[in-house]
Structure 1
Amino acid sequence: MLDVFMLSRIQFAANITFHILFPTITIALCWLLLFFKLRYNRTGDEAWYHAYRFWVKIFALSFALGVVSGITMSFQFGTNWPGYMETVGNIAGPLLGYEVLTAFFLEATFLGIMLYGTKRVSNRVHTIATALVAVGTSMSAFWILSLNSWMQTPAGFEMRDGVAFPTSWWEIIFNPSMPYRVGHMLLASGLTASFFVAGVSAYRKLKGDHSREVTLSLKTAVYLAAILIPLQIFMGDLHGLNTLKHQPAKIAAMEGIWETESGAPLQLFALPNSETKTNDYSISIPRGASWILTHSGDGEIRGLNEFAGEHPPVAPVFWGFRVMVGMGLLMLFMSWTCSWQLWRRGMPAKVFLMGLVGMTFSGWIATVAGWYVTEIGRQPFMVYGVVKTADLVTNTPASHVLFTAIGYVLVYIGLIVAFLHTLFYLARKAVENSVEDLDPEVTGGKA
């Protein structure tokens, strides 16, 4: 039987897993919309405007689901984790408030103009509204990630009678891991939106949509992904070095390193065994982990056994990290291969278009896996090294938490099915309405 602690963690995990899917799309998708709008303004090419009108519908749908699930998630600080606000509310409360005041209000104010103001305001005002919504989504990410980063690498506070009080808001906001987390997440959003747009555009191509609108969308998304993925790999390396310095137990779990050692191997595959504190069926590269994490083949990495009782569960962190990295490598291959084919042929081969469709939600997989590494890797602490998660849980009966958790999961399954159905319904409708807007690259120059 699961106790109230584990049920509360499962419920919160279900909520945040569902919630993070949609901000991961909208943060970067809004910047893509701004790019489409600016290209239309500059060239007068109606294809850019049609691309904007199609994707703004998807943005609105994703934004709505992100807002609703975010509000639901915030309620759980009171229902499932009352000790959280009692202990660190002096820091978490203002940061969440800044997010609402500077970001959410900005998005909510100008979103209506962005969605419905095309024929009601001037083109200039409409473009400015789109830009402000894009800024708002990024500011929202900044504040939320600043709080999450503080929970990972707390700074600028002092504890008084078991309660955290701020001593430096600069150190709180710009804590040691914040720049790396914000950069890593914004790039992740860019990749998620890129493959999302590329996948849906490839789906439309395969369904017979030869409009310039879909070609321009596909090219923009593929080229953007090809640019962002090397930057993400570089940022991931910097983030890993920062995590090694501030959260060595998380790194040990990610790499499956049990004993402190110099020249630690890189585990390509293994089954971490918490009972024997070894890795079963290990396939590794000698000294690989030390090279990556310390940039020296003889670099020392602390093992999990040094953190007995205070290190995260190894298997989910170990495998979550490998899923994230594996998906990143697949993104690198697909984006660069399709970019080369776009440059040489004007359009990827059919098999690669099918591959892009298959990778429509690859950003979701990588982001959720990375988020699990981040959050599970922080355990057993809610605020790393300061307060443990188990000390903040509700005393609500476990049966009540189980009931609400089941309810959340059922609702979220229904919403994600509805989202996917609506997404591909809109794509098919766009195919039906695209017959008169032929792409010269496909028709041999005949419009």
Structure 2
Amino acid sequence: MDAALLSRIQFALTVGFHFIFPPLTIGMAWLIVIMQTLYLKTKNELYRTISQFWIKLFAISFVMGVATGIVMEFQFGTNWSEYSRFVGDIFGAPLAAEGIFAFFLESAFIGVLIWGKDRVSKVFYWFSALMVALGSTLSAFWIIVANSWMQTPAGFHIVNGRAELTDFWSAVFNPSTVPRYLHTVDGTLITGAFFVMGISAHYLLKKKHLDFAKNSLKIALIAALAASLLQCALGHYHAVQVAETQPEKLAAFEGAFETEKGAPLLLFGIPDAEAETTRFAIGIPKLLSWVAFGDFNAEVKGLKDFPRDEWPPLGITFTSFHLMVALGSYFILLTLVGIYLLYSGKIYTHRFYQKLLLYSIPLPFIANELGWTAAEVGRQPWIVYKVMKTIDGASFTVPAVQILFSIIIFTAIYIVLFSAWIYLLRKKINDGPGESLEPGKEVTI
């Protein structure tokens, strides 16, 4: 057994499971702010009822996110001790900032949000919701900073075999921080909005809590459309950054082996690394050159321009990227149809569309995981791009059998935690909002 490979599998398992929860809670937090703002503005109890229900589901998911996030940090000292020794001076700073400035802010006000409804003023309660949303979004920023530095390291030099920080702000705002952060945060808004839409659709299908469901669905649908459309621009912004700073990753995304001017944007294909070709390729001529460089005739480097041992794992990188893009396109289409049905007055009786919303709840979660996979696998074989290879960052002292055992244990624990999360969500959903609403009362946005 390969200890380094097992360590990578273990980290992928723990991060992948943890990454279910932060996108959901960040996205829901901002929707709750919108609902609380409407309540504060109109004094209509309907908005308060809506926000209180979603706060309950937010709290359950927040606790799960905290519990699953702790495990990851321990792995840096156990399975990735060589990496930790090399980048500790740099990597520790954003993680410390996340704990001190972001997580503390979020945690301090979430107690008010959960238990302070009748104990504080309406304005302070709204402020607490805003602080939770800001804290969770700021927390994501520092995590993205740490990860982006691994993608496009900056603001450091190497002394005695260790990377030492020379420019804090260059390290924080390295070339990939802003595009990756905006792309990720917008993904959280899509995740939260689809979660709210799907559960609201569930109530409509069951003909329960109808006024609550209609109003929640309207708010979430408008947010989902805006976030889905915005993701097109942010995805393009991120693609430009990847083209400029990680050209072999872009080549892997597109299954491009040959350097080409006027490169096509691939819609479908099956990359074959051994034959160094992409079979059954279907693409739009010259569009990749324009997307990446703003010039239909710009040159896009192919994988053959890079050493073979520095190619990312092609199948996983290519597939995860294209599935993510396909899901993003689906989100736009689904929400555009939803807006049409909303303003034509058909959305609350269109059972097929409601079922689509319900069954689409998992899809943004999957898209998040696919995007993370494309970014991380696409960086390989580097743990710090062009500075340190992944194999060199693993610990030498932890036996493979112990890592394998930990993977089995983690898997069992995560199955239990996931089951508990689903059980608690179902229980709250079955209980419903818990307060009656004025019949026929709808939100005006």
The two structures share one fold, judged by TM-score above 0.5: yes
Within 5 Å, which residues of 2 pair with 1:15-414? Answer: 15-307=14-306, 308-345=308-345, 347-348=347-348, 349-395=350-396, 396-414=398-416
CA distance, structure 2, for counterparts of residue 38 and residue 296 of structure 1:
44
CA distance, structure 1, for counterparts of residue 423 and residue 293 of structure 2:
46
Deviation digits for residues 265-294 of structure 1 (CA, Å, limit 9, x no counterpart): 332222211211112233333333223323
The amino acid across from 2:412 in the alignment is L
1:398: how far off?
A: 0.7
The residue aligned with 1:439 is: 440
- 8 Å contact 1:215–1:439 — kept in the other structure? no
Deviation digits for residues 153-207 of structure 1 (CA, Å, limit 9, x no counterpart): 1111111122111111110111111110111111111111111111111111111
The amino acid across from 1:369 in the alignment is L
Give the secondary structure class of the aligned counterpart of 2:20: helix
Give the secondary structure class of the aligned counterpart of 1:103: helix
- 8 Å contact 1:211–1:435 — kept in the other structure? no
RMSD: 1.7
The amino acid across from 1:136 in the alignment is G
The amino acid across from 1:235 in the alignment is L
CA distance, structure 2, for counterparts of residue 327 and residue 425 of structure 1:
29
Give the secondary structure class of the aligned counterpart of 2:105: helix
The amino acid across from 2:425 in the alignment is L
Q: Between 237-246 and 406-415, report the one with greater CA deviation.
A: 406-415
CA distance, structure 2, for counterparts of residue 284 and residue 34 of structure 1:
42
Give the secondary structure class of the aligned counterpart of 1:77: helix
The amino acid across from 2:377 in the alignment is I
Which of the numbers 411, 419, 422 marks the counterpart of 1:420?
A: 422
CA distance, structure 1, for counterparts of residue 38 and residue 210 of structure 2:
17
Are residues 436 and 290 of structure 1, via their aligned partners in 2, closer, same or farther at CA, if it must alter by over 3 Å? closer
Normalised to the residue count of structure 1, the TM-score between the two structures is 0.95
Normalised to the residue count of structure 2, the TM-score between the two structures is 0.95
Are residues 354 and 55 of structure 1, via their aligned partners in 2, closer, same or farther at CA, if it must alter by over 3 Å? same
Give the secondary structure class of the aligned counterpart of 1:257: coil
The amino acid across from 1:329 in the alignment is S
- 8 Å contact 2:211–2:437 — kept in the other structure? no
Taking only the aligned residue pairs, the percentage that are identical comes to 38
The amino acid across from 2:322 in the alignment is R
- 8 Å contact 1:210–1:439 — kept in the other structure? no
- 8 Å contact 2:157–2:163 — kept in the other structure? yes
CA distance, structure 2, for counterparts of residue 23 and residue 5 of structure 1:
27
CA distance, structure 1, for counterparts of residue 139 and residue 30 of structure 2:
14
Give 5+ residue unaligned stretches, structure 1.
442-447
The amino acid across from 2:101 in the alignment is T
CA distance, structure 2, for counterparts of residue 122 and residue 241 of structure 1:
46
Give 4+ residue runs of structure 1 displaced > 4 Å after superposition: 433-437
Give the secondary structure class of the aligned counterpart of 2:19: helix
Are residues 360 and 437 of structure 1, via their aligned partners in 2, closer, same or farther at CA, if it must alter by over 3 Å? farther
- 8 Å contact 2:39–2:47 — kept in the other structure? yes
- 8 Å contact 2:187–2:368 — kept in the other structure? yes
The amino acid across from 1:62 in the alignment is S
1:440: how far off?
A: 4.9
Deviation digits for residues 99-151 of structure 1 (CA, Å, limit 9, x no counterpart): 00001111121211110111222222222222211111011011111111111
Deviation digits for residues 5-57 of structure 1 (CA, Å, limit 9, x no counterpart): 11110110011111111100111211111111121122122221111111111
CA distance, structure 1, for counterparts of residue 419 and residue 88 of structure 2:
36
